[in-house]
Chain A
């Protein structure tokens, strides 16, 4: 394969284990694309990666304004990493507003690359700067690279038949080119992407190519960067990899589950941030028999999914917190009629509309208890973007085997964050599924499997099994409508027991670290990376700390209590105000301690590390 990226001089190269970059600019500056391109390039090179896109809810907030800043942080490393980094080593700020809203995260001595052309009076005023920070000395604790990116980029594109506004839209690729040079990354993956994306628009393609190459050449030929950096590839477990976000992995996992269970997937959905990408992606898998339905509202989305499951398909719906709130009544119906259904909740900051693009883990109690009546259903929660694939299959395994709706809790951080995913062999995927019931003699709509308590799945079209189901209480065995008090009590216990028994069919809670000790940090969902990294640091300091991470929240793994009681203290960090904490304390009467953070951002490693140290040193 030919390469367009020039060979390097081997002088002035510094090797680093890990680098964290944050691209920040106006929401129209293409920062998400820039970050994604760097991520792909680092991933293909073989680094371990972790990303944190952070963008405003407004599609285009006023240009240059503080609320309009869009950021993308990525960490890439030659060793295994679990988080997108607490703080950036390098901040790329495309305008004063991006500088203002991000500079506090850059540690002293950190590298700051700015587009000095954007630091004009108007933009400075919009960002609330009284004087120009590039010249007033306020940035002297950083290593500042002030580059006239807009002007240099415009010069590189000179002669192309484009308006100056169009030219300016490509300056993010100039910045990307600089970063590629600075970190010894090939331009080839991005050049290929430009060809694929803009192949039909030769001028646009040429402009982006020129911008990227000009940025790269600028890094190489100017003398402002005295050195560049090398982050060798990571020693990831052997295998074939691709970069994947949590939403992509969830969609792929559901398609895989459909293939494994040999039933068509039906996806009912209403657009909502940050779950919509699942709809976009699944709608392209029609040749897998995937039927996607953009419903009139959240209720119709889950109603249609229940209807599809009733017909023998795999009914799936997804939303975020406000949409889940609308689906809760139908989720209760699915509990009552005991049909397989998976409900994905990509959590975001609430209550109400909250902060649509910001992450939070605050729907746990909603999905556990947000229905009328005692209405138990299983809850699973993947811990990393790549795990979103495995737990989609796991959610379906449980739904089909136990004839129950299952909630799958993701969040905005998992959904849009990415990491390398070792692509599994299809042959290694678990075997899941259930047969339709067809035997007339043995058929009773609410007879149960003695082990799983699952009722038979008798789908319309099966001769002789005509029967009626619905939201009214069912008589045990026959499924006829029943208001008998004893029957209702029995059915409530049966529904509870059915979910409880799943504990016998899921892995035990694993502990990373000593089996007993001073402190256990218990987490669930997307806090995994920060907790794991904090625990590794504490262990390196010789501290008696272990990490356990719940992927099954209802039911809990059967050894959960034993694990929790093996440590003097239990700390539960959550991006909410103590929801798992409440469940753990209520269930086990263990005096666990919460660490809450609801700032629309994931935990930093240092925050957990410090809290753990405080607990360990507390006498």
Chain B
């Protein structure tokens, strides 16, 4: 009797499939809640079985996120999440690996690992919560804190120039670089979607509000009333237009970007920069990564998305090549390799 051929019925997953049984313990009002919610929301869209998804984090408020995801998760040590992710992805190319980190975790103690995981194009999606402060240790300056910021650890103001996270990611050869905002839920979801579909190292900076130690760090341009005028929503192939009335744009003058008004001084849409996230060279993306408020609108969206071979695939290719050339390793032969002699 022929066996009936039935395919297993896999019901589509929904957000609640990705919610773990652990109580979420961030401060009430923290931007992390929204990031967690959008993360859980987009997870079903990738078509990965949830057992094949892993969240790895470092230390800091962001580090708790894996506990709240009903996937595999690993809360590692400060700054080192990209290293665990690199080893895991190398050993298990079949897994989808997300790294959850913060501005201190990724850019201070773990800066070296971010640099190297990006330049290797490890196939990880790194989400960096940037609140410009150390939250879990109660309010010290972080590497993204603005110069002169007064904190518990810098009562007279910091004397350290802050770093621009996306400039660093681009300099590190990240193949996907994007930015979004905790409260812009739809934009955040779309950004995570793009990152999740990218093959290679994805670096996503999420502008996140720490309402306890650095409340309103990004408010000047992220609030609903002002954001259209003070932010630039990047769209591939589209001219860089912003403003409530869609009348402002970014134009290149020599090597320098400038804000122009469409219709003034003969400026037309054709004069504006057109976004190209797939540009192989990083110049446009890098220029965008330098734009900051108030001189410029703050760009959000995908800055760069290019397709390069991933670390795990290159590693696997070398193994496949070695096996094709020499055959599967034979232990007996290996132990007996080289010059041998027999004692009787």
**Contact residues of A with B, CB < 8 Å?**
40, 43-46, 189, 233-243, 252, 255-256, 259, 264, 266, 268, 285-289, 291, 293, 295-297, 299-313, 315, 329-330, 333, 337, 422-424, 426, 459-472, 480-481
Nearest CB of A to B19, in Å: 12
Q: Given the known A-B contacts A286-B318, A291-B90, A310-B74, are A241 and B340 also in contact in the complex, defined by CB atoms under 8 Å?
A: yes
Question: Are B77 and A237 neighbours in the complex by a CB distance under 8 Å?
Answer: no
User: In the docked arrangement, what's the CA distance between A469 and B187, Å?
Assistant: 31
- Which of A295, A302, A310, A422 is within 8 Å of B88, CB to CB? A310
Closest 5 CB pairs of A and B: A470-B75, A303-B83, A307-B87, A304-B87, A288-B329
Q: What residues on A are CB-neighbors of B20 within 8 Å? A: 468
User: In the docked arrangement, what's the CA distance between A219 and B59, Å?
Assistant: 69
Chain A interface mostly: mixed
User: Which chain A residue has the least Cβ–Cβ distance from B54?
Assistant: A460
Question: Are A423 and B92 neighbours in the complex by a CB distance under 8 Å?
Answer: no
- Which of B56, B86, B318, B332 is within 8 Å of A426, CB to CB? B332
User: Which chain A residue has the least Cβ–Cβ distance from B342?
Assistant: A240
Question: Are B319 and A286 neighbours in the complex by a CB distance under 8 Å?
Answer: yes
Nearest CB of B to A511, in Å: 27
Q: What residues on A are CB-neighbors of B327 within 8 Å? A: 287
Question: Are B75 and A252 neighbours in the complex by a CB distance under 8 Å?
Answer: no
Q: What residues on A are CB-neighbors of B321 within 8 Å? A: 286
User: In the docked arrangement, what's the CA distance between A461 and B49, Å?
Assistant: 8
User: In the docked arrangement, what's the CA distance between A393 and B230, Å?
Assistant: 62
B:64-94 near A, CB below 8 Å? 66-67, 69-77, 80, 82-92, 94
User: Which chain B residue has the least Cβ–Cβ distance from A255?
Assistant: B334
Question: Are A287 and B331 neighbours in the complex by a CB distance under 8 Å?
Answer: no
User: In the docked arrangement, what's the CA distance between A311 and B89, Å?
Assistant: 8
Question: Are B77 and A312 neighbours in the complex by a CB distance under 8 Å?
Answer: no
User: In the docked arrangement, what's the CA distance between A470 and B80, Å?
Assistant: 12
User: In the docked arrangement, what's the CA distance between A333 and B57, Å?
Assistant: 13
User: In the docked arrangement, what's the CA distance between A276 and B2, Å?
Assistant: 59
Question: Are B315 and A426 neighbours in the complex by a CB distance under 8 Å?
Answer: no
Question: Are B340 and A423 neighbours in the complex by a CB distance under 8 Å?
Answer: yes
New contact pairs (6) apart from A241-B340, A242-B336, CB-CB < 8 Å: A40-B339, A266-B90, A287-B325, A293-B315, A307-B56, A310-B87
Question: Are A241 and B342 neighbours in the complex by a CB distance under 8 Å?
Answer: yes
User: In the docked arrangement, what's the CA distance between A426 and B334, Å?
Assistant: 10
Q: What residues on A are CB-neighbors of B88 within 8 Å? A: 307-308, 310-311, 460
Question: Are A308 and B73 neighbours in the complex by a CB distance under 8 Å?
Answer: no
Q: What 0/1 readout, one digit per residue, does chain B (78-122) give for beta carbons within 8 Å of chain A?
A: 001011111111111011000000000000000011011000000
Q: What residues on B are CB-neighbors of A241 within 8 Å? A: 340-343
Question: Are A43 and B341 neighbours in the complex by a CB distance under 8 Å?
Answer: yes
Nearest CB of B to A339, in Å: 10
User: In the docked arrangement, what's the CA distance between A332 and B69, Å?
Assistant: 24
**Contact residues of B with A, CB < 8 Å?**
20, 22, 49-54, 56-57, 59, 66-67, 69-77, 80, 82-92, 94-95, 112-113, 115-116, 315, 318-319, 321-323, 325-329, 331-332, 334-344
- Which of B66, B86, B328, B343 is within 8 Å of A238, CB to CB? B343
User: Which chain B residue has the least Cβ–Cβ distance from A332?
Assistant: B77
Question: Are B115 and A308 neighbours in the complex by a CB distance under 8 Å?
Answer: no
User: In the docked arrangement, what's the CA distance between A551 and B47, Å?
Assistant: 50
Q: Given the known A-B contacts A426-B332, A460-B52, A472-B75, are A189 and B70 also in contact in the complex, defined by CB atoms under 8 Å?
A: no
Question: Are A240 and B341 neighbours in the complex by a CB distance under 8 Å?
Answer: yes
Q: Given the known A-B contacts A252-B335, A304-B84, A307-B85, are A312 and B344 also in contact in the complex, defined by CB atoms under 8 Å?
A: no
Q: Given the known A-B contacts A241-B342, A470-B66, are A308 and B325 also in contact in the complex, defined by CB atoms under 8 Å?
A: no
Nearest CB of A to B322, in Å: 4
Question: Are B91 and A291 neighbours in the complex by a CB distance under 8 Å?
Answer: yes
User: Which chain B residue has the least Cβ–Cβ distance from A303?
Assistant: B83
Question: Are A291 and B72 neighbours in the complex by a CB distance under 8 Å?
Answer: no
Q: What residues on A are CB-neighbors of B322 within 8 Å? A: 286-287
Q: Given the known A-B contacts A266-B90, A311-B91, A468-B66, are A460 and B84 also in contact in the complex, defined by CB atoms under 8 Å?
A: no
User: In the docked arrangement, what's the CA distance between A126 and B175, Å?
Assistant: 55
Question: Are A296 and B76 neighbours in the complex by a CB distance under 8 Å?
Answer: no
Nearest CB of B to A568, in Å: 39
User: Which chain A residue has the least Cβ–Cβ distance from B336?
Assistant: A423
Nearest CB of B to A85, in Å: 21
User: In the docked arrangement, what's the CA distance between A302 and B297, Å?
Assistant: 42
Question: Are A295 and B329 neighbours in the complex by a CB distance under 8 Å?
Answer: no
User: In the docked arrangement, what's the CA distance between A499 and B334, Å?
Assistant: 33
Question: Are A303 and B87 neighbours in the complex by a CB distance under 8 Å?
Answer: yes
Most A CB within 10 A of own CB, among B77, B88, B321:
B88
Q: What residues on B are CB-neighbors of A426 within 8 Å? A: 331-332, 335
Q: What residues on B are CB-neighbors of A468 within 8 Å? A: 20, 22, 66-67, 69, 72-75
Question: Are A238 and B54 neighbours in the complex by a CB distance under 8 Å?
Answer: no
Q: What residues on A are CB-neighbors of B112 within 8 Å? A: 296-297, 300
Nearest CB of A to B153, in Å: 22
User: In the docked arrangement, what's the CA distance between A308 and B56, Å?
Assistant: 13
> Can you offer 29 A-B residue contacts whose CB atoms are under 8 A?
A239-B342, A242-B339, A287-B326, A287-B329, A291-B91, A291-B319, A293-B86, A296-B116, A299-B113, A300-B80, A303-B76, A303-B83, A304-B83, A307-B85, A307-B88, A308-B90, A311-B87, A311-B92, A311-B95, A312-B91, A422-B343, A426-B331, A461-B52, A461-B94, A461-B95, A468-B67, A470-B57, A471-B59, A471-B75
Question: Are A307 and B91 neighbours in the complex by a CB distance under 8 Å?
Answer: yes
Question: Are B334 and A304 neighbours in the complex by a CB distance under 8 Å?
Answer: no
User: Which chain B residue has the least Cβ–Cβ distance from A306?
Assistant: B84
Q: What residues on A are CB-neighbors of B82 within 8 Å? A: 300
Q: Given the known A-B contacts A259-B331, A297-B112, are A466 and B84 also in contact in the complex, defined by CB atoms under 8 Å?
A: no
Nearest CB of A to B62, in Å: 13
User: In the docked arrangement, what's the CA distance between A243 and B339, Å?
Assistant: 8
Question: Are A307 and B77 neighbours in the complex by a CB distance under 8 Å?
Answer: no
- Which of B66, B91, B326 is within 8 Å of A266, CB to CB? B91
Nearest CB of B to A282, in Å: 12
User: In the docked arrangement, what's the CA distance between A468 and B339, Å?
Assistant: 49
User: In the docked arrangement, what's the CA distance between A348 and B54, Å?
Assistant: 38
Q: What residues on B are CB-neighbors of A43 within 8 Å? A: 339, 341
User: In the docked arrangement, what's the CA distance between A471 and B326, Å?
Assistant: 41
Q: What residues on A are CB-neighbors of B53 within 8 Å? A: 460
User: In the docked arrangement, what's the CA distance between A471 and B76, Å?
Assistant: 6
User: Which chain B residue has the least Cβ–Cβ distance from A283?
Assistant: B318
User: In the docked arrangement, what's the CA distance between A303 and B115, Å?
Assistant: 15
Q: What residues on A are CB-neighbors of B84 within 8 Å? A: 303-304, 306-307, 310
Nearest CB of B to A438, in Å: 11
Question: Are B90 and A293 neighbours in the complex by a CB distance under 8 Å?
Answer: yes
Question: Are A266 and B339 neighbours in the complex by a CB distance under 8 Å?
Answer: no
Question: Are A333 and B77 neighbours in the complex by a CB distance under 8 Å?
Answer: yes
Question: Are B95 and A329 neighbours in the complex by a CB distance under 8 Å?
Answer: no
User: In the docked arrangement, what's the CA distance between A534 and B342, Å?
Assistant: 29
Q: What residues on B are CB-neighbors of A472 within 8 Å? A: 75
Question: Are A330 and B80 neighbours in the complex by a CB distance under 8 Å?
Answer: yes
User: In the docked arrangement, what's the CA distance between A82 and B332, Å?
Assistant: 27
User: Which chain A residue has the least Cβ–Cβ distance from B63?
Assistant: A470
Q: Given the known A-B contacts A252-B334, A287-B329, are A471 and B77 also in contact in the complex, defined by CB atoms under 8 Å?
A: yes
User: Which chain A residue has the least Cβ–Cβ distance from B93?
Assistant: A311
Q: What residues on B are CB-neighbors of A237 within 8 Å? A: 343
Nearest CB of A to B332, in Å: 5
- Which of A264, A266, A309, A424 is within 8 Å of B335, CB to CB? A424
Q: What residues on B are CB-neighbors of A297 within 8 Å? A: 112
Nearest CB of A to B341, in Å: 5
Question: Are A299 and B83 neighbours in the complex by a CB distance under 8 Å?
Answer: yes
User: Which chain B residue has the least Cβ–Cβ distance from A244?
Assistant: B338
Q: What residues on B are CB-neighbors of A293 within 8 Å? A: 86-87, 90, 315
Q: What residues on A are CB-neighbors of B341 within 8 Å? A: 43-46, 240-242
Question: Are A235 and B343 neighbours in the complex by a CB distance under 8 Å?
Answer: yes
User: In the docked arrangement, what's the CA distance between A287 and B337, Å?
Assistant: 15
